[in-house]
Structure 1
Amino acid sequence: MVGGGRVNIAFVLSALGAGGAERVISSIAGAAIARGWTVTVITFDAPDDPIFHAIDPRAQLIRLAVPAGSGGLSAYAAGIRRARALRRALDAGKYDVVISFLTKINVLTLLATLGRHTPVIVSERNNPDRQPAHPLWQMMLHRLYPRAAGIVTLTERGKTRMRIADRSKVTVIPNPIPALAFEPRREKPPQLVAVGRLTEQKGFDLLIDAFAGIAARFPDWSLVIFGEGPERPRLEAMVRDHGLQHRIRLPGNTERHAEWISAASMFVLSSRYEGFANVVGEAMRAGLAVVASDCDFGPGEMIEQEVSGLLVPPEDCAQLATALGRVMSSGTLLRRLGSNAKRRATLFDERIILDRWLGLIASAADRQPATSSGKSFRSGSRLHALIRSR
């Protein structure tokens, strides 16, 4: 593609699950198709696996059905199989640009394109300091990331943590926050809402303890945590231990924003770390008061302290409980924070963010990927030979 014509692009991600990365890819793909570009979405899951965020039907969907390994040599062998399958798919598609999301998929995509001239844009969606610590992954990151045509981070703080010599390759593009397709109810029950995968990262154990500490002071208030994940048994046990089964609910996943936004008087983010925290932006767009952990990264760049929300130190149950109590006890504060949050969220308007993504992709398509000045895999290396073999 040269001079603003049609672009043939491929997105690569693990699966079409319920995460924020999947939602963003769905949005970018739709915007690219609306511009007349050709879009393919490549995943490693199986054809019969559920799709949580719908992809524009005009996009081609390729599901490679190559699962990840369970660890050790199994994970290594699965990684090689995935990279080979991806390489075949990318070679067949003759794409102008390839865009991958999430660290391990970024590494596999850069491996799969060794020796090719297709520009690859990798998107870091989480805290770089919390990425895989295994020496093999660290070596891969160190050597492969300089080969990317571009690296996208969600925040300025995330950009400063990228371990890459050429920072000019790093572009900050926050997640888009779409306008609501419905009008939230004005009158809502006194209810705190949290949304996210039930994992240690999301800190719902901290939230349950914080709510339990103030529940007696606010007998009319309840807590609903939407999401699913491996921490469910432990979180349910915590709720039982606190004797709050009638006050704290874990109803599972919801793909309908209307369900959790309409259920909320205020929104809580209790994460230990984040990449951006889409749900904070969505809550702000809906005019909800937000109390959030000031974790790396995202919340501190989205929320103006004491203006459009309250920020508390991560993993501090006492301060989280205090902040929740402040808002729960003051309708004036709840309304003021919600009104200011709605104004602040316009900075992340979907049209603005998607235009930035499409501009970056078009720019990459119009140039050959820069040659890395850092260490890289030689085309004759053993790993390169493994990827090339059929």
Structure 2
Amino acid sequence: MTQRDIFFVANEVNELGGVGRWQTQLAGLLAARGHRVTVVGITPANHPMDLGETPPFRTVTLYARRPPSRPRARRPLGSLDPAVRRHEAHMRAAASRLTGLFRAAAPGAMIVVPQVWAMEWVALADTAGHHVVGMTHESFDTSRKTSRFARVKRYFADVDRLLALTQEDADRWVGEGLNNMGFMPNPLPIAPGEPSPRTAKVVASVGRLSHEKGVDLLLDAWAQAVAKQPGWTLRIYGKGEAEDALRRQCAELGLEDSVDFAGQSDDVPGALRASSVFVQSSRGEGFPLVLLEAMATGVPCVAFDCAPGVREIVSHEADGLLARPGNTTELARHLVRLMSDERLRDELGEQALRSVRRFDPDTITRRWEELFDFLER
């Protein structure tokens, strides 16, 4: 195995969330296999997660505070607008720090860029002698609804490889003219261990309380489900900007006695093992880590089939149940099936525990190393 210099260049080094957790895990896995890993953030994290006292990789942050957004050029000045020129000068200065890091690395280093905003700085740096691997950590359909869609096509068009999270999404990007596509699933973030006994009358939801995560839809579904299966509790783990509105919705639906806003959990596997069903009601997803975690604790999942990554992880009627996106009645019906049928919970939960092992971290890490070897040929 060739030991390499590997750089992750992302928006932040340690932002709390899916990309941050993925980056920290994969950087650690590659470092454990002898690679020299550096994680570079463009800006400090808004909601930092703890990397421990001595993470197995080096960390660098380019800016002391978040840089301002790119100004819109005023007509008729265009690119000669002084505000635009000052912004570009600041970007080039920060990118020169990246150039210094890359030039100090051994030839054939790998530069992994999991977010397109960070790629704007990498595009200004000198990456000569190294390979650049871009990533999009959201589904094609989610990206298409945002300004990131055009930027992915612009900034990742010439990287050595652009990775989606599933083959289905990779094929969609090829249809947009990106012929450097591949795909790479996320690794299982926890080792399968002692499974949940699946006896507590608790349905768990874990995620940021935001519009994208669809907890408002979940509350509508829960009102239908708990009416048919009284005595159960929906335990919502997470914090976010939508919390006040969700608490008001909960009160308006008369659900205060059956919904527990449990806040941010420092022990997600423990929270999942204390539940019997996991539910995800997102409007959009990439390759959700918490679905992997729930399955690794033997908890059957109910989710909106909102992205290829969701149906790549959960097989409907085999190891979980999928509802059409936004269909709260169907989501409620699936919840009731599991809440009312202990045998079905056990069957799907045990199969989930078996099937999730295909995302074993060692397997995914080897796939990354095989990709690096291929790019260097």
With the shorter chain as reference, the TM-score category is 0.7 to 0.9
Contact 1:79 1:108 in 2 (8 A): no
Report which structure shows greater RCO (CA 8 Å, sep ≥6): 1
User: CA RMSD, aligned part only?
Assistant: 2.8
Superposed, 1:37-186 pairs within 5 Å as 37-46=35-44, 50-52=48-50, 54=52, 57-64=55-62, 65-69=64-68, 73=72, 81-82=90-91, 84-94=93-103, 95=105, 96-105=109-118, 107-113=119-125, 116-131=128-143, 139-163=150-174, 164-167=176-179, 169-180=180-191, 183-186=194-197
Contact 2:153 2:178 in 1 (8 A): no
Measure, in 2, the Cα distance between the counterparts of 1:165 and 1:35: 35
Corresponding residue to 2:263 among 237, 252, 259: 252
Contact 1:28 1:357 in 2 (8 A): no
Measure, in 1, the Cα distance between the counterparts of 2:239 and 2:282: 15
Deviation at 1:185?
4.6
**SS in structure 2 at match of 1:282:** helix
Measure, in 2, the Cα distance between the counterparts of 1:47 and 1:196: 18
Matched, 1:327 2:338: yes
Measure, in 1, the Cα distance between the counterparts of 2:50 and 2:88: 24
Measure, in 2, the Cα distance between the counterparts of 1:88 and 1:261: 42
Measure, in 2, the Cα distance between the counterparts of 1:268 and 1:197: 13
Deviation at 1:56?
6.0
Matched, 1:294 2:305: yes
Measure, in 2, the Cα distance between the counterparts of 1:119 and 1:92: 14
Matched, 1:234 2:245: yes
Measure, in 2, the Cα distance between the counterparts of 1:113 and 1:201: 33
Corresponding residue to 1:273 among 272, 284, 293: 284
Q: Structure 1 residues 267 and 72, CA, compared in 2 at 3 Å: closer, same or farther?
A: farther
Contact 2:139 2:169 in 1 (8 A): yes
| Residue number in structure 1 paired with 2:295 | 284
Contact 2:163 2:183 in 1 (8 A): yes
Q: Structure 1 residues 318 and 55, CA, compared in 2 at 3 Å: closer, same or farther?
A: farther
State the AA in 2 paired with 1:91.
Answer: G
Contact 1:66 1:82 in 2 (8 A): no
Deviation at 1:72?
5.4
Quick check: 90-99 or 188-197, which moved more?
90-99
Corresponding residue to 1:219 among 209, 216, 230: 230
**SS in structure 2 at match of 1:51:** coil
Contact 2:31 2:57 in 1 (8 A): yes
Gaps of 5+ in 2: 74-82
Q: Structure 1 residues 5 and 331, CA, compared in 2 at 3 Å: closer, same or farther?
A: closer
Deviation at 1:45?
3.2
State the AA in 1 paired with 2:133.
Answer: I
Contact 2:224 2:332 in 1 (8 A): yes
Measure, in 2, the Cα distance between the counterparts of 1:48 and 1:325: 38
Superposed, 1:337-348 pairs within 5 Å as 337-348=348-359
| Residue number in structure 1 paired with 2:76 | none
| Residue number in structure 1 paired with 2:6 | 9
State the AA in 2 paired with 1:111.
Answer: A
Q: Structure 1 residues 83 and 181, CA, compared in 2 at 3 Å: closer, same or farther?
A: farther
Matched, 1:192 2:190: no
Measure, in 1, the Cα distance between the counterparts of 2:34 and 2:45: 26
Deviations 1:155-185 (A, max 9, x none): 1221122155353x32221111144375245
**SS in structure 2 at match of 1:99:** strand
With normalisation by structure 2, the TM-score equals 0.86
Deviations 1:29-80 (A, max 9, x none): 1222222221111113338973345596231111223415368549977687
Quick check: 95-104 or 176-185, which moved more?
176-185
